[in-house]
A and B are shown apart, each in its own frame.
Chain A
Amino acid sequence: MAALSRSLISHLRIFSQCRSMSSQVERIIEGKPGIMTPNSKRTGAIAIKCGMTALWDKWGERIPISILWLDDNIVSQVKTPEKEGITALQVGCAHKKEKHLTKPEVGHFRAQGVPMKRKLKEFPVTEDALLPVGTSISVRHFVPGQYVDVAGITRGKGFQGGMKRWGFSGMPASHGASLSHRSIGSTGQRDAPGKVFKGKKMPGRMGGVQRTVKNVWVYKIDPARNLMWVKGQVPGAEGNFVFIKDSVYKKPDISTLPFPTYFAQEDEDVADLEPLMADLGDTDPFMAAD
């Protein structure tokens, strides 16, 4: 009897809680600058890999550069814990014509009220880093001199053997090695276990998977054209999408990053801004050896 009443009470409590939650005001997300805490996480951005060159920095050192183009990133959906269960921002990049999109996709863009984008990617963020739908994320979201993690689908290499795919060393070219100079050699033991273990490195299709290159240094950004120069290599071929976010290991200095993103002032004309370069320091790295 008492148990029954207890369960009844608990059910009533849950029911009333549900009632109160549904009558709660919907979360209002404003696009205003905020203060970043060590626990907060900002969005990333989607860029197109344009290619690679090499530049000379002010000390005369040659730096290999990949150029990434942040073509019109816009927040296309906000995911909140109330509705979707997670806090994330869906960012879209590059244009797409409506005739090239399926009807469900078109409906999604129209429902959110954003222009049609070619690539959508969700970036999990913390609650204080949420942005309203339609906010554009420019290249000034990143600061030159910070480290970023860049993820992309690598170049496809096709069916490759063990030496290229896994770095096996193969067998000697001479000294009697018969018919197996680049083969993978042995694949296991004998009767015990009597099988080849799953996941054994063997020839197969290489490339065409998503990989992340970590701790890529941002050398220069051009806010007028939304271009970003980063040092080193970035996965993927030219013209492919890459996803950039703040580095996890080499965390950037919180005070320098625009949080939740960079909001352009009304009077600023984007065309007039000069490219921003990373600060290389005052000490000449070559003379420092003395």
Chain B
Amino acid sequence: MWRRVPSQLRALTPKCNVSSSEISRPCVALYLRNFSSQFGNASTKKEVELGNLFETRLNVSVNRHASLTSPYKVYGSCLSQDTTMVPSFPRRFITTGAISQVSEDASASSLTTPRIKFKRLDKTAAHIMQILDKEAVQEVRAQSEIPDIKPGYIIQLKVEVPENKRRVSTVKGIVIARRNAGLNTTFRLRRLVAGVGVENLFHLYSPNLKEIKVLDKKKVRRAKLYYLRDKMNALKKH
């Protein structure tokens, strides 16, 4: 009885989205903005929120108090239909529900029937980290234009070194490795400095990287060009 037909859910989701926009708790709004369509079709299992203290049989609307900051899908008024499906819903809730609902209405938002799904907290944590990371990357990308950097490209950088009295130095070399880690994406540059091979690690989204220019693209068949460390003559040209 928990597996509802997805079409019913889809029919309900427009309503859900509307009600969700009313949510003043932005965490939910944030997640919904990103994942509303995905969630609407994905879940078929509807476990009714038993933890909700204020749910009563008489009153079909389930008030969700400040728990709206929990980042999971809020099923808006979908739940109203669900409660009728659950006859085992406790009469024991009736007494407290009536009293607490009055206080709830005062404090909670005007949302009628939100329902929150739970995942394991570490999954939620990882999800939050992912979102924050993406936001940070987008913010940096919006500010300054960062070209695509792949191994084998010959790059010229203008780096501002804060430790060295903020001198802006020009660095030219070949990218031998790139490590993707969201905001902490780094790439290694190998160059010849005064006859000595030097490898530098730069953070792609660092505010100290003032300008990146791609000069040339070499054809390579590898993601990490560590073999260049043995081939010093190849670097002479650059």
Q: Which of B3-11, B78-86, B123-131 contacts A (4 or more CB under 8 A)?
A: B123-131
A54 within 8 A of B: yes
Q: Is the CB of B51 within 8 A of A99?
A: yes
Q: Which of A48, A114, A134, A226 has a CB less than 8 Å from the CB of B121?
A: A48
B52 within 8 A of A: yes
A116 within 8 A of B: yes
Given contacts A110-B96, A290-B165, contact A225 B69 (CB under 8 A): yes
Q: Is the CB of A69 within 8 A of B125?
A: yes
Q: Could you list 19 examples of A-B contacts with CB < 8 Å?
A: A51-B126, A51-B129, A53-B133, A53-B183, A56-B208, A59-B162, A60-B206, A67-B129, A67-B132, A69-B125, A95-B118, A97-B47, A97-B49, A97-B50, A98-B53, A99-B50, A239-B123, A271-B24, A284-B166
Q: Is the CB of A115 within 8 A of B51?
A: yes
The smallest beta-carbon distance between B91 and chain A, in angstroms, is 14
In the complex, chain A residues 50-94 whose Cβ is within 8 Å of any chain B Cβ: 50-51, 53-56, 59-62, 67, 69, 71-72, 74, 94
The smallest beta-carbon distance between A159 and chain B, in angstroms, is 23
Contacts of B156 in A (CB 8 A): none
Q: Which of B25, B136, B165, B208 has a CB less than 8 Å from the CB of A287?
A: B165
Q: Is the CB of B184 within 8 A of A115?
A: no
Given contacts A115-B65, A227-B128, A286-B165, 9 further A-B pairs with CB under 8 A are: A48-B121, A50-B125, A53-B132, A53-B136, A55-B183, A69-B128, A115-B54, A225-B69, A270-B24
Q: Is the CB of B184 within 8 A of A53?
A: yes
- Complex Cα distance, B165 from A55, in Å, reads 21
B163 within 8 A of A: yes
Q: Is the CB of B126 within 8 A of A238?
A: yes
Chain B 119-145 near chain A by CB (<8 Å), digits 1 or 0: 011111110110011001000000000
Q: Is the CB of A115 within 8 A of B67?
A: yes
Given contacts A269-B24, A270-B26, contact A55 B136 (CB under 8 A): yes
Contacts of B27 in A (CB 8 A): 224-226
Given contacts A48-B125, A69-B128, contact A113 B100 (CB under 8 A): yes
Q: Which residue of B lies closest to A101 (CB)?
A: B51
Q: Is the CB of B184 within 8 A of A54?
A: yes
Given contacts A225-B69, A239-B125, contact A98 B51 (CB under 8 A): yes
A96 within 8 A of B: yes
